[in-house]
Structure 1
Amino acid sequence: MAKSTRDTPNTSVGASLTLAVLHAASRLGVERSALMQACALHDSQLSDPDARVPFTTQEQLWDQLSRIECDEPGLALGRNLAPGPFSVLGYLLQSSPTLGDALAAGLRYQRLVGEGGEVHLHEHGDELHLLYRPLHPELPATRTRVLALMACWVQMFHPLLDTWQLLRAQFAHPQPHTLDSYHATFACPLQFAAEDYGIVLPRSLTNAALIQANPPLQHLLRQHAEALLARLPRAGLSARVVALLGEQLTRGEPDRSQLARQLNLSERTLQRRLADEGSHYQQLLNDTRQQLAEHHLSSSDLPAAEIALLLGYSEPSVFFRAFRQWTGLTPGEYRAQRKVQ
């Protein structure tokens, strides 16, 4: 299996995810109060959907759930997980214009749901691989947790796409004796003892329109998601800077001195610590602007001049020059190319 993401003392998950898991367990007949007591969970920790729960507590919850007497508890739980309660991210994904936009948002904001692993997206020829690399892959409860996530992916995206299709589903664990629940959940060829957990889709689905697309709502949700992301602690300073830049760009030209103050650093210390990580402020700003520019050009009909303002450029011509440097295309050429793919 590929190397898993790194754990830290601050690793956490959203209270909204914890609530959703508890609701799913209740639907399977598991007593909520007994679960919470076994994991030392309290209602006060779950009163705010945007609050955080330590990942160690979440792992204790999955350990309890892995003992449910049914064929593959993770799949049973995943089929009962409702995506809506996953706070802002669930609604953001469902309101995206296309599956590709939803997946891009999922990658950027995955930490809002939880930090128990990392989602990766790779293109291989005509295939699109959506992979998940969990923390602590060696723990028995991790299998239950990851299977629930994969089943939830299917439960969420299938109703949003008229052309939904799975080419195969792959699992890092060995093939179990009974496959009925796998066939019922994924309805596609299965691969076990794979390098990663994940599902494989036709690459053509990237541009498939979602039936609940709502660009104005998605824009508001994205602003909220950026603000929440910026509040999360992170071991890597570069990732923290990117999150803060995303939040600042929704309000205009980023201010490096203000960003440094938000991190309780001087500008000089900020630059030095970024250099220690092999990055620098201007490159992080350029990368963030490029990602957001490509998103706006692909998923909206906003004029390029308005996109320039959304990215904090005072003059559209500066944005046009920067975009050509990033992609080798003008914004208009990039948008036209995306429409014919």
Structure 2
Amino acid sequence: MIPLRRVHHFPFKRIQPRNVSRTFGLSSYGAFAMMLMSCSSVYEAMTLGIRYQQLGYLFSELKLTLHSDTAELRLIPYHLPQALHRFVMDRDIAGTYHFLNTMQTMLGQQMRPLRIHMPYPEPPAAQAQAYRDAFGCEVIFAAQEASFVLPLAVLRIPFPAGNSTALALYQQQCDEQLTQRRQQDNGSLGDKVQRYLAMFSQQYPGVAESAAIFGLSERQLRRKLKEEGSGFQAILDHVRSQRACALLHRSDTSIEQIAVQLGYSEAAAFIHAFRKWHGCTPAAYRREQRQSESSGQS
């Protein structure tokens, strides 16, 4: 999983590959890019790229699916707030498109995808056409997931710079980088889950979706949290409790509206949960906070 802080800002008007290249140039990938360019074929490069995708800059999981005459490079986004979905997809698709184009140029090829699938509704006609102009191929909106559809023959293209010795060297460097990342990631899993859940409002991800963000199965996530003396529901309750207290203290948002923001279907469920967390109702908590502020100011 790529930390959210590495999600760069790519508004739609800057989706053109020439602009994306400022962030996604091969030089920014270091040993990862050199490893791919040392492969014997496009297929080997793609399979290794997927295996080591954590060294890239995507906030999506890459998968390769082969059909009878096409290959489909799929981008499955990690679960994020809905407001971020199109932004992240545009960024990841534009970056992947430029990366593939750069590799093809280095191979002396000028091939474009047969089509690109976008996993959100089609925008107004002018915007949709801008996507097609930028990518130079058919763009299909409202697809179930994002993907690049390529001729299967592309995978058989040999790399002129293929070198098994160099490949082994760069692959070792990539392994070391992954190990270093894991060692540097010293925060507890509970803290990471809490920061992830704190990004959401109204609709919070479940335990399975959250586990996938950290490359774990639901069972592994529950076990690791238990080893830390915590649990997924306890963390979610803490996130909701903190947000509820902040809204009650710093805003005039109604109890009903706060319940909606915290993902409760009705205010009664929120009030019951809040009483369990703090021993009082949300309304009583708000009164106490404001009385305390008034006393402090007098």
Offset of residue 118 of structure 1: 0.7
Task: Give per-residue Cα distances to partners, 1:265-299, cap 9 Å, x unaligned.
Answer: xxxxxxxxx9x76xxxxxxxxxxxxxxxxxxxxxx
The answer on whether the counterparts of 2:59 and 2:92 sit within 8 Å (CA) in structure 1 is no
Match of 1:85 in 2: 28
Scaled by the length of structure 1, what TM-score is found? Answer: 0.46
CA displacement 1:28-84 (0-9 Å, x = unmatched): xxxxxxxxxxxxxxxxxxxxxxxxxxx23223x42xx42xxx735375532443122
Change in Cα spacing, 1:207 to 1:213, as seen in structure 2 (3 Å) is same
Deviation, 1:137, is 6.8
**Offset of residue 224 of structure 1:** 0.9
Q: Please list the CA deviations of residues 113-148 of structure 1 after superposition, one character each: whole Å capped at 9, or x if unmatched.
A: 246221000012211000111222721431332233
CA RMSD of aligned residues (A): 2.8
Are the equivalent residues in 2 in contact too, given 1:75–1:151 (CA < 8 A)?
yes
- State the AA in 1 paired with 2:71: L
In structure 2, the partner of 1:169 is 116
Q: Determine helix, strand or coil for the equivalent of 1:173.
A: coil
1:220, CA displacement in angstroms?
A: 0.8
| Whole-Å separation in 1 of the counterparts to 2:5 and 2:141 | 29
Question: In structure 1, the residue corresponding to 2:33 is in which secondary structure?
Answer: helix
TM-score normalised by the chain length of structure 2:
0.52
In 2, are the aligned partners of 1:168 and 1:201 still within 8 Å (CA)?
Answer: yes
- Over the matched positions of the two proteins, sequence identity in percent amounts to 20
Unaligned runs of 5+ in 1: 1-10, 13-54, 235-273, 278-341
Whether 1:193 aligns to 2:158 is no
Equivalent residues of 1:75, 1:147 under 8 A apart: no
Give the match for residue 146 of structure 1: 92
- Gaps of at least 5 residues in structure 2 are 184-216, 221-298
In structure 2, the residue matched to 1:131 is 74
Structure 2 counterpart of 1:221, one-letter code? Y
Q: 1:175 to 1:75 in 2, by over 3 A?
A: farther
Between the two structures, name the one with larger relative contact order (CA 8 Å, sep ≥ 6): 2
Q: Which residue of 2 aligns with 1:73?
A: 15
Aligned residue type for 1:208: I
Distance 2:156 2:135 in 1: 22
SS class of match (2:13): coil
Q: Is the aligned partner of 1:113 residue 2:63?
A: no
Q: CA deviation at 1:103?
A: 0.3
Q: Tell me the distance in 1 between the aligned counterparts of 2:157 and 2:102.
A: 15
Q: Name the counterpart of 2:6.
A: 58
- Give the secondary structure class of the aligned counterpart of 2:63: strand
Kindly state the Cα deviation for residue 186 of structure 1 after the two structures are TM-superposed: 2.6
* TM-aligned CA distance change 1:155 to 1:218, over 3 Å: same
Q: Which is greater in Rg? A: 2
